[in-house]
Amino acid sequence: MTQDSVSIVAAGHSRFGRLDGLTLEDLIVQVSREALEDAAIDASEIDAIFLGHFNSGMVPDGFPASLVMQADPALRFKPATRCENACASGSAALHAGIQAILSGAAELVLVVGAEKMTDNSTAQVTRALAGAGYQNDVEEAALSFPQVFGVAAARYQSRYQDPLAAMAVIAAKNHDNALHNPLAHMHRAMTFEHCNTVSERNPVIAAPLRLSDCSLISDGAAAVILASPARARQFRREVQVRGTRQVNDLLPIAQRDILAFEGPQRAIQGALNAAGVTLTDLHFAEVHDCFTIAELLIYEAMGLAPRGEGHRALDEGIVLPGGRLPVNLSGGLKAKGHPVGATGVSMHALAFRQLTGEPIGLGVPYAEFGLVFNMGGMAVANYATVLQARRA
């Protein structure tokens, strides 16, 4: 997808966090209106709507795609589709919107991602998210996602080396980054020492994962507007989708090497190849740090470090702010928050702002290429996107 690319031309983004008093519908309407206002277009110009929403019983709304129409009367009678692919539901919606434009079925597409999670207890959310695991194996069905990624961290320790110190650096980094993001769920600095020490305030959640290794249960929504090449030039800002790749892997973790992260590796490399760029061309990346061990494994899947040596991306400062390839300047899922259906759209909305020179939070001066990687489950549904700023 290196010629006549689909473009992101506008975005909207709510604050992430515990948003008491706001319903799923409220969040969807808010960001849809923000995106339409950002694009300075009439809602009647939208050709199709795609909504990313996982739900899994966290809210009673099981048929929410048409809730987007509450944002503007002119959206009524537009085709609207809900996309679900676990924690990658937002990227599933965005990729569906891209395909609608490439097929010629649409020229302007509104993509929304939303989730309302905090009305549930932690135990209820944990059970809901566990539904994205393999249910036809008694042992796997009994695992929560903290436990699944705890297994990954324990296997990493056994096969390579203890990853806990590197995971603590990731947690501290992402919390520091989130301090600069006004939309982030948590604005609280966490030191390496705090994150690397088991304590009453940082207990073990699923051995060896500590509380500081786990992403947040959040409410929130984000939206982007996609445009065809013919329409994109009419907008004041344009970020081109230069390459995309979706790769799905087997659901049962017993049937694959979960440390290999083959789905993420194939998705990221496929998107880079489609864009005609390499890792060295990128200026930043937003990746799926649902747990700190996931970000560490993603460094290796990206090729920033050899297998078992993801810590080198941290030790050498590559992924830190000001480094060669800063990762999760937004604060990531770890501190920005993880309203699961919104996450993929949020990543693209913030990357859009970064590439148009209007970052929300930490910025990368003159950034031209950015990578977004969003996954569902234990590296099962993997979506990678390479974005490029339009240069006059």
Task: List the one residue out of 172, 179, 198, 169 whose CA is nearest residue 299.
Answer: 169
- Reduced to 3 states (helix: H, G, I; strand: E, B; else coil), residue 351 is helix
Longest dimension (CA), the chain: 58
First-to-last C-alpha distance (Å) of the chain? 20
- The pair of structure tokens assigned to 96 is 């569906």
Catalytic residue, chosen from 185, 288, 338, 348, is 338
For residue 176, give both structure tokens.
């520091």
Q: Is 338 a catalytic residue?
A: yes
CB contact at 8 A, 52 and 94: yes
Check 87, 195, 214, 290 and give the catalytic one. Answer: 87
Tell me whether residue 87 is one of the annotated catalytic residues: yes
Tell me the three-class secondary structure of 188-252, residue by residue. CCCCHHHHCCCCCCCCEEECCEEHHHECCCCEEEEEEEEECHHHHCCCCCCEEEEEEEEEECCCC
Query: Which of 292, 287, 305 lies closest to 346 in space, CA to CA?
Result: 287
Q: Report the side by side order of strands in the sheet with 220-227.
A: 80-83, 48-52, 108-115, 220-227, 7-13, 239-248, 381-389, 369-376, 284-286
- So which residues are the catalytic ones? 87, 338
